[in-house]
A and B are shown apart, each in its own frame.
Chain A
Amino acid sequence: MAETLSSTPKVWQHRNRNQQLLSWFLWLIGTAIFMYCWQIVSESTTWFFVWDAPRIAADIGSRMIPPRWSYIGDLLEPLWDTLNIATIGTMMAIVMAVPVAFLAARNTTPSARFVRPIALLIIVSSRSINSLIWALLLVSIIGPGVVAGIVAISFRSIGFISKLLYEAIEEIDKNQVEAITATGATGLQTLVFGIFPQILPAFAGISVFRWDINIRESTVLGLVGAGGIGLQLNASLNVLAWPQVTLILILILLAVIFSEWISAKVRHAII
């Protein structure tokens, strides 16, 4: 052993020399990239405004309290719209996402070479584009309103639901499917009696989870004109009516807590 030959005992180290050099090198590169990026951000920042920020923040804060409670009458209908955007959007997404998931799962896809890549492309396109951008697109196509919001939410949710669902389908127990097939069941019957029961809990969980996320997302869709409480938020911000903004933020917070509570309750009941 080399250690016994050297006069001074070797101290234990977490990494050997090469690993240590590599690790330092990676840190160096990472730090350099970060500093470079920070420099770019810094160049396009007006630092005068940033140094002034605490005063501005205090100013806005003082304007925001107390919330204008009387405004709540105008907010109930947008809140109902927000709930509808999230719920109907999720339902539409489920209808479209289930077939996509079955086409994308390795064990149920009709053709792994041709159909599966298309399904995966649908999933990744839907997932990469935020619901606000979908809303922007749909508002410009079908006009402002709740419908654009519903369609935006459903387009964004297809990818999410399909991805989680096809992963669940790929993990099913083959024996159950084989047992159903052995009875002479047709393809459809195998699907209904062999595969559906196995993914049903996962499916319900995923749907409720996405509904919960959609409630959050639908609260801001109004910023680009797609209906819901975001419209009021945008209008209040445009006229700098900070007490109304506070009230809207409180309502959004309550809606988020409510949806999270329901989703936790349902998922708890399923699992």
Chain B
Amino acid sequence: MSIEATSPNSGVSGKQSAALPESWSRPPFIKNHLLRWGLLLGVVLYLYLSIGSLEVNWTRIYEGLDRGAKFIFGFMNPNFAGRWNDISEGIIESLVMTVTSTVIGIAISIPIGFGAASNLAPLPIYLFCRGIIALSRSFQEIIVAILFVAIFGFGPLAGVLTLSFATIGFLSKLLAEDIESIDKSQAEAVKATGSPWWQWINYGVQPQIMPRLIGLSLYRLDINFRESAVVGLVGAGGIGATLNTAFDRYEYDTAAAILILIIGIVMLSEYISGYIRAGVQ
């Protein structure tokens, strides 16, 4: 495929000898005519088929507009007080799950990350660790949560294990990529002093990956909080169960209060982690 960024002067600097063109048109994003029109045709055909297969219940949507207005009204007047006990319990449980799962996830991710770095690990360990990462990345948190709830029973432990498992895939992969791109000469300098393996890791490799590790961990803390709001939908603890109940009872003011709390906490943690990351790097 030949998709390229447009270069505006390619048309002008071509042949000056012939009469200068009267008009100019932008070079297309996809140069190959056949591919361009083929893609366009494919998109139109797909849209025709997919929109044709949609079953839209317009009366139901029309009735829903009323509830939508109620929800927007609820957002304007969120009801924190009505079910404050449920909300505060759920939010605290979500935060607790976030912290626990992030710590456990990081603790497991670091050895797996080292094992999945091709410049440190021997081939069998490399393949094993990459396998774990692929397994963890290929399934949605919610599916893992369903299985863990079935295995470990209802409650926050299933949620903690789910989020830890998801953290492994995310953190180990990015950590391994960072370890693979370290500056070799620094590590070699430490090795040249005759240091044993663990000192080589501790003084040659670890300082180079530390800023990124801290940044990724904070980012994952953020993600885990957002996900902890979801795993509750299938009974794995956290604010999700409260939110689900609120929607089931059409209590949009309570639901809005929970959503506002989630957005507020995410914004706060994004702000703090941005501050810490700026300090570390």
Minimum CB distance partner of A60 in chain B: B150
Assess whether A143 is in contact with B64, with CB atoms less than 8 Å apart: yes
Contacts A84-B54, A125-B263, A147-B56 aside, 20 further interface pairs with beta carbons under 8 A come to A34-B99, A34-B103, A37-B99, A41-B96, A60-B150, A127-B266, A129-B263, A130-B226, A133-B230, A133-B240, A137-B71, A141-B68, A142-B68, A143-B61, A197-B8, A198-B5, A220-B142, A253-B138, A253-B139, A270-B3
Assess whether B230 is in contact with A130, with CB atoms less than 8 Å apart: yes
Residues of B within 8 A of A38 (CB): 100
Residues of B within 8 A of A256 (CB): 138
Tell me the A30-51 residues at the B interface (CB within 8 Å): 30, 33-34, 37-38, 40-42, 44-46, 49-50
Minimum CB distance partner of A50 in chain B: B152
Is B121 at the interface (CB under 8 A from chain A)?
Answer: no
Q: B76-84, B112-120, B155-163: which lies at the A interface? A: B155-163
Assess whether B237 is in contact with A193, with CB atoms less than 8 Å apart: no
Question: Chain A: interface secondary structure?
Answer: helix
Assess whether A14 is in contact with B203, with CB atoms less than 8 Å apart: yes
Is A140 at the interface (CB under 8 A from chain B)?
Answer: yes
A269 to B1, CA, bound (A): 6
Give the interface residue-count category, chain B: 35 or more
Assess whether A147 is in contact with B61, with CB atoms less than 8 Å apart: yes
Assess whether B157 is in contact with A124, with CB atoms less than 8 Å apart: no
Minimum CB distance partner of A57 in chain B: B151
- Write out, one digit per residue, whether chain A residues 113-151 have a CB within 8 A of any chain B CB (1) or not (0): 000000000001101111011001101111101110000
Given known contacts A46-B155, A128-B262, A147-B54, A141 and B143 CB-to-CB distance under 8 angstroms: no
Is A249 at the interface (CB under 8 A from chain B)?
Answer: yes
Is B281 at the interface (CB under 8 A from chain A)?
Answer: no
Assess whether B267 is in contact with A141, with CB atoms less than 8 Å apart: no
Is B53 at the interface (CB under 8 A from chain A)?
Answer: yes
Is A72 at the interface (CB under 8 A from chain B)?
Answer: no
Assess whether A124 is in contact with B267, with CB atoms less than 8 Å apart: yes
Q: B12-20, B123-131, B172-180, B242-250: which lies at the A interface? A: B242-250
Residues of A within 8 A of B230 (CB): 130, 132-133
The smallest C-beta distance from A147 to any residue of chain B, in angstroms, reads: 6
3 interchain residue pairs of minimum CB distance: A49-B153, A142-B64, A128-B266
Contact sample, A vs B, 21 pairs, CB 8 Å cutoff: A37-B99, A38-B100, A41-B160, A50-B153, A56-B150, A81-B53, A125-B263, A128-B266, A130-B227, A132-B233, A136-B244, A136-B247, A137-B71, A139-B247, A140-B248, A142-B64, A146-B55, A223-B142, A249-B139, A253-B138, A269-B1
Residues of B within 8 A of A253 (CB): 138-139
Assess whether B57 is in contact with A41, with CB atoms less than 8 Å apart: no
Is B33 at the interface (CB under 8 A from chain A)?
Answer: no
Assess whether B259 is in contact with A133, with CB atoms less than 8 Å apart: yes
Assess whether B50 is in contact with A87, with CB atoms less than 8 Å apart: yes
Is B255 at the interface (CB under 8 A from chain A)?
Answer: yes
Minimum CB distance partner of B156 in chain A: A41
The smallest C-beta distance from B59 to any residue of chain A, in angstroms, reads: 10
A128 to B223, CA, bound (A): 9
Residues of B within 8 A of A143 (CB): 57, 60-61, 63-64
Assess whether A200 is in contact with B5, with CB atoms less than 8 Å apart: yes
Given known contacts A53-B151, A136-B233, A200 and B29 CB-to-CB distance under 8 angstroms: yes
A15 to B229, CA, bound (A): 40
Is B37 at the interface (CB under 8 A from chain A)?
Answer: no
Give the residue of A30, A124, A217, A270 whose beta carbon is less than 8 angstroms from that of B263: A124
Residues of A within 8 A of B56 (CB): 145, 147
Tell me the A194-213 residues at the B interface (CB within 8 Å): 197-198, 200-201, 204
Assess whether B5 is in contact with A33, with CB atoms less than 8 Å apart: no
Give the residue of B143, B229, B247 whose beta carbon is less than 8 angstroms from that of A137: B247
A21 to B132, CA, bound (A): 37
A50 to B149, CA, bound (A): 10
Is A252 at the interface (CB under 8 A from chain B)?
Answer: yes
Minimum CB distance partner of B202 in chain A: A14
Minimum CB distance partner of A134 in chain B: B259
Assess whether A145 is in contact with B57, with CB atoms less than 8 Å apart: yes
Is B36 at the interface (CB under 8 A from chain A)?
Answer: no
Residues of A within 8 A of B96 (CB): 37, 40-41
Given known contacts A80-B53, A223-B142, A53 and B64 CB-to-CB distance under 8 angstroms: no
